[in-house]
Each structure stands twice: as structure tokens, then as C-alpha cells.
Amino acid sequence: MNKLLVLWPLLIVVVSGCATLNKDECLTADWYQIGYEDGARGYADTRIASHREACAKHGITPVFRDYQDGYEEGVIRFCTTSNGFAQGKRGYNYSGICPSGLEASFLDGYEAGKQIYSVSSLISSLNDEQRQNENNIEALQNQIIDKTNLMLADTTSIADRYTLNAEISQMQQDLGGLEERNRQIIVETAEAQAKLQVLEEKYAYY
């Protein structure tokens, strides 16, 4: 248990598809500590298979028993109510790694955090949509001005003017749709922000 007194810095997690451990980490691996860190970070214990694959190319085989002992201790640290709340709030996808004796309390916090995450994600999505709409609105407004100037130019033929007028009419309809959607977004965002505030106050004790 004394290995838990000093927690090594968490291993660097590289992008999906890359090795979980590099050569130096494989050669100097403390498999108890690696297991502990994986458990404390909410990984499934099957992650050792990725470590095995990463280290096999360097001729290193994980010590499964040490890894599993460390992992079980790490999971105990992970599976708390407060951490469940923190994990749910950041969008962590729980895969059932908590022992039966700890899972209920973890899920209490996790489900509360997930509610906040869901509303926060909605607000972020609405903000992104609004920014994109505003960019499209500006682009359409500029195109309408350009086509209007072209339509009114002395060198533009009557046939082209009819065509440009039809294009301008369609752009104005599109513009109106974007502006209407932005008005709806403002209302939806305000409602979501109010809901988020209620949830944050409701779960402030976490």
C-alpha cells in the first residue's frame, strides 16, 4: 500500500491508434503503478492489452498480477460519488468498471453530472450554430449587395437582370430563414442557461 503514498505523474495518453506506452516507459514500467493510474482514470482493465501490444515490440511483457492489483486500488479511488459527478459533468462514458459495492454511490454523482453535461453541450451547440448562422447571414448580405449592383449596372442585359433578380429573391428568403432561426436560438439558449443554473444549484453539494 505504500506505493499509493506517492502518485507518479499520470502517463501521457496519446491519440487513439498510437501506442499507450513508449519504449522507455515499457523498459522502466512499474506495472502496479500503471494499473493504479489506469483504474484511477476510469479505464477498463482491458487496457492492459493495449500496453501488452505497445511493449511487445520492445520485448517487454506486462506483469499482469501487479497491474491488476494496482488497477483494483485505482478503481477504488475513481469510484466515488464526487468523482462520479466530475466525470459525468465532463462527458465521460461509464462502462461499468466500478465494483458493486461502490457503483451505486458513483452513479448517483455520475447521473447528476451527466445532466449538467447534457445541458452545457446543448448551449455550446446552440452557440456554434448561432455563430455559423451569423457568418452565413453576413455572406448572404454581401452577395445580395453585389448581385443588386450587378443587376442595376447599365451593361447588364435584361435577361441577366431577370436571372439576378430571381437569385436575389432566393437569397433574401434564405436570409430570412437564418435570421428567424437565430431568434429561435436566442430563446432556446436562454431556456437552456436557466435550466443549467437550476441544475448547478441543485447539485452544488457535490
pLDDT tens sequence across 160-190: 999 999 999 999 999 999 999 999 999 999 9
Domain limit, last residue, from 60, 78, 96: 78
Range of the domain at 30: 2-78
- Position 87 in a domain: no
Per-residue model confidence (pLDDT) at position 107: 98
| Predicted structure pTM score | 0.79
Q: Is residue 121 part of a domain?
A: yes
Q: Convert the pLDDT of each residue in 109-125 to its tens digit.
A: 999 999 999 999 999 99
Q: How many domains are contained in the chain?
A: 2
9/61 same-domain check = yes
pLDDT digits (tens, 9 = 90+) for 14-23: 333 468 999 9
Angle between helices 158-202 and 100-152 (to 10 degrees): 160
CA torsion 122-125-129-135 (nearest 10°) is 140
pLDDT at residue 4 tops 60: no
Are residue 132 and residue 198 in the same domain, yes or no? yes
**The domain boundary residue, chosen from 78, 98, 124:** 78
Helices (H), the chain: 23-27, 31-40, 47-56, 64-78, 81-89, 100-152, 158-202
User: By the 8 A CB rule, do 179 and 144 touch?
Assistant: no
